[in-house]
Chain A
Amino acid sequence: MARKTREYGEPIAFSLTSMMDIMTIILVFMIKQVDSEGQLITAAENLVLPNSTSTKTPREVSLGLVVDANWVLVDGQRVVETSIVSGQDTLLVAALDEVLKDKREIEKQAKIAKGEPDEGGGNIIVQLDKNMNYDVMYKVMATCGFSGFTNVAFAVNQLNPEE
């Protein structure tokens, strides 16, 4: 007797149910990961921020100053080489002071235009590499104060944010 050959009927539709389950789980996980408040600071490239137990996050947008191994940058624009800051004897970093004063003036004008009082000095968030020496940090911080940015904060990596 001839062997009965298998008959193929209509092609079976590809079941997407299990794929949907996977996608739903991934989506829920991702939504949980996204910070609903958003982040007002973004970690700069070319540096490693120190870890800290601080849980304080910035309330408003502030001017960003980054000091990495090679450059001091204000709002992403290179201002002065870090080695120059490190090598100078004076506390005031002239090139940085000039840029910061301009930024502060723009900030003041914007507040006047909005009809808001300009009180308490400007806000600035400084991102420094964790291995940067205190001398550079101190000069940068002092220059911020000279140029009107008196509310200085350092950006850090939150240690164990889930705890």
Chain B
Amino acid sequence: MAKQLKKAPPPKEMDMLPVMSLMTVLIPVILTMASFQKLAIVEVNLPERTEMSIESEPPPPDDNALNLTVAITRDYLEIWARGGSLPREFYKEMWTFRCRSDGDTITYDPSTFVYDDKGAAKNPPKCQDGRELDSEKFRYSIETIHLWALHKESEEDPGKIKMSVYSKTDSAYLDGNNEFITDPALVRPGLTVATLSESSARRLACGQSAPGVEDICSDGRPAVSLRPRSAYDELAKTLMMIHNRFIDSPDADNIIVLADDDTAFDKIISVMDRARDSGFFKINLAKLAAGG
């Protein structure tokens, strides 16, 4: 009699339920630990002089010292070095708000706001869906403070907004002469440009990305934009030039940032960023005496 083969039982499916339970517990635990906002710090040196004024004792002069200072006032940025100053960089301040109601952004000229005695705006910013921001606390909805660089012939001249070509990643392009590119038609594949960072020269290309090559195209067409030039970009360009020229100076890494009392903290941090990115790592803060 032929030996009857025992039929193997069908394989048992693995019980996934405990693993699923573990996953369900793990995910909320990790969610609570996750940080979606990454914080960093900006270090400063404490003020050496409490206030820059005519009455305060000036430091002993050093002929080789750069004594680089950037002043932020209501209308312009100014750079002083070696006892002299560079032409003022006038700007127009613009505030971009993010509306919670529709998620869109709106940009306003802050000088258009009219305030009552309590400091509340009579004409608060209006979102695209028609809703108004809080008349008292709308300043705390500012997402970005833009400083648009102005070309002025004189102090009285209202000025003309300078324009620049910006990349997809929001970097201003500089040509071979280290000047801002102002015509988008010039920015074409094959052109060599630089941005406002060290060793940033790159060749522009379309649909091709590699070290030293930047893909400027989107859907097969150059996707650069002509926008108002940031006064911070003008500042960064000048600071980089100064740093490269006075690299042997004993205080080549030092910079003092001066500001008016009502200067927003955001502007201070932006100027400090540009200073640090240009090679000035030791940043001191000081107050601009009333009246400049």
Contacts and interface: CB of A to CB of B under 8 A. Distances in A.
B19 A20 contact: yes
Contacts of B145: 130
A13 B12 CA distance: 12
Interface stretch (B22-30, B61-69, B150-158, B212-220): B22-30
Contacts of A74: none
Contacts, number: 158
Given A48-B140, A141-B44, A134 B259 contact: yes
Interface in B11-46: 13, 16-17, 19-20, 23-24, 26-27, 30-31, 33-44, 46
Contact of A54 (B19, B50, B265, B273): B273
Contacts of B40: 52, 54-57, 155-158
Contact of A141 (B30, B46, B273): B46
A24 B16 CA distance: 13
Given A130-B264, A131-B265, 6 more contacts: A39-B35, A53-B277, A54-B276, A130-B265, A131-B266, A134-B265
Contacts of B140: 47-48, 69, 129, 131
Contacts of A154: 41-42, 44, 265, 269
22 contacts: A16-B17, A17-B16, A19-B16, A20-B20, A26-B27, A41-B39, A50-B266, A57-B39, A91-B50, A131-B264, A132-B264, A132-B265, A134-B259, A134-B262, A134-B268, A137-B268, A138-B285, A141-B44, A142-B50, A152-B43, A152-B44, A152-B46
Contact of A153 (B42, B273, B285): B42
B260 interface: yes
B18 to A, nearest CB: 11
A127 B264 CA distance: 14
6 closest A-B pairs by beta carbon, nearest first, are A135-B261, A16-B16, A153-B41, A130-B266, A23-B23, A161-B38
